[in-house]
Amino acid sequence: MYRIVRKEVMSPVIKLMEIEAPEVAAKAQAGQFIILRIDEEGERIPLTIADFDRTRGTITTIFQEVGYTTRRLGTLEAGDALADFVGPLGQPSEIANYGRVVCVGGGVGVAPVYPIARALKEAGNEVIAIIGARTKELLIWEDEMRAVSSELLVATDDGSYGHHGFVTDLLKQILEERGKVARVWGIGPVVMMRAVAETTRPFGVPTIVSMNPIMVDGTGMCGACRVSVGGETKFACVDGPEFDGHQVDWQLALRRMNMYREEEERILK
Ligand code: FES
């Protein structure tokens, strides 16, 4: 069993859980994910790794309650335990000293961006971070992101905090005004990642996106995470989750993401 050692309610629908899983924590790297199952009857769900602590032997994950299992998970408390916790899975982010990089996180996508930004900073990059959410209440890990970046910019869709508008407005400004940006990471809802890729495309800046949101079982078996990258079929959970954002077929990705929506709504009724 895998014990929950800390739970934080970040907003009514966003929860943080730190889970004891020393073997996973020992190997986890930025960009990877885990799969958990609440109990024997539960479905397996993939969640991104927001942080890992090798000394404490823990993995931190931040999730939004969007379906049956994440809602159930959200009702658990510190001291409760999970039946299965498998990982780290997926390919780690390609961390190197690129020079100046921009890390963009939207919604709960800020969570997986955090270890990537930290690793990039440790590798010697100048890290400009841009985080955003629909409203101030849904904005997560501002202080944490500030600690691992050279500069932090914030946007909210409704203007309740920071720039009134989208993270991509701020990204465009940086690309226009700051000279060379070597690489951009963009993680968040699929529509946001598509917007990040379209913003950087005219500037020719390599852009990495994480196709976590389209994964279902995370094991290469369900086929739900098939994504077309540069005309080749890839599985987000095995070949990714990170891909070149300029090569992803976004229309197909958006269709896949909506595939299970009807079924999920039936379960929740
Ligand atoms: Fe099922 Fe990748 S999530 S095959």
Q: Which domain holds residue 240?
A: 100-257
- Confidence band for 216, pLDDT divided at 50, 70 and 90: confident
- Predicted confidence at residue 110, as pLDDT, reads 96
Task: Give residue 88's identity as a one-letter amino acid code.
Answer: P
ipTM: 0.98
Report the domain count for the chain.
Answer: 2
| Contact (CB, 8 A) for 106 and 189 | yes
- 183 and 220 assigned to the same domain: yes
pLDDT (tens digit per residue) in 97-144:
999 999 999 999 999 999 999 999 999 999 999 999 999 999 999 999
pLDDT over 80 (residue 20): yes
Pocket of ligand 1 (CB under 6 A): 215-218, 220-225, 235-237
- Confidence band for 268, pLDDT divided at 50, 70 and 90: low
- Provide the CATH number for the domain around residue 9: 2.40.30.10
Q: Which residues pair with 2 in a beta bridge?
A: 82
| Contact (CB, 8 A) for 133 and 157 | yes
- φ, ψ of residue 244 to 5 degrees: the values are -70, 115
pLDDT (tens digit per residue) in 150-165:
999 999 999 999 999 9
pLDDT (tens digit per residue) in 29-50:
999 999 999 999 899 999 999 9
Tell me how far apart the alpha carbons of residues 127 and 105 are, in angstroms, rounded to a whole number: 13
- 151 and 71 assigned to the same domain: no
pLDDT over 70 (residue 54): yes
* Structural domain contains residue 171: yes
Q: What share of the chain is helix, strand, coil (3-state, %, to 5)?
A: 30, 35, 35
Mutate to test the pocket of ligand 1, among 235, 243, 260 (most ligand atoms within 8 A of CB): 235
- Predicted confidence at residue 132, as pLDDT, reads 97
Q: How many residues does the chain have?
A: 269
* Structural domain contains residue 95: no
- Confidence band for 174, pLDDT divided at 50, 70 and 90: very high
- Which atom number of ligand 1 is nearest to the Cα of residue 224? 1
